[in-house]
Structure 1
Amino acid sequence: MDILLYPPIAFILSLCAVYLFAGFFSSWAPKPAHNPEKTKTYACGEDFPAEKVVPNYEEFYPFAIFFTILHVAGLMLATMSAAAAVSFAVPTVYVFLIAIILSVLFIR
């Protein structure tokens, strides 16, 4: 019975239980009536023409790359300092290279 307590087995069993529970009680749930007003855009009671919005993430990418580089660098430096065989020069060179990469990233 201890096998039931292993996380993958417990997850699969709970997923099956929820699936069976939902399948059993979904037949009791009332069927929704089709209402075309539900899919309209809400604009405080005004008729709002539907437009296709195309988000622009171009300004977000430098910050995402900056965030990724700094966090990967922090992880690398934290694990380098834990290793006894790493000299002082390796993390110093690594920090210098990260500074160069980040300066190139934000110079336009």
Structure 2
Amino acid sequence: MWERVLTSIPFIFTLSLLIGLIFYWIGARIAPKGTKTPGKLAPYACGEDFPPVRLQVNMERFFLYTIFFMVFDILAVVLATSLARPGILPALYALIVFASVMLVLPLARW
């Protein structure tokens, strides 16, 4: 009977929770107390002032990078699933993606 209770999941969970709380309570009692200073709430920036102007992100370039990332990510999935097939099919997939990227690349305004 007791063996069943001692090995039950709710008992083990409660026991481990109590042991963790006891360790936390003991650690809070024996740990040194820190001094409260207003400098702890100040932002840390190595003594430099933050720039007043916000950084403008070029969204067109960002979306271009995301499109290229998605293309090569899909290529990685296609190659990973097609490498089990014998023949030239994986190399053909990679060649098609490479050719399409080379066609789109001159259209991109960097």
Give the structure-2-normalised TM-score.
0.43
With a CA cutoff of 8 Å and minimum separation of 6, indicate the structure with the bigger relative contact order.
1
Higher share in helix: 2
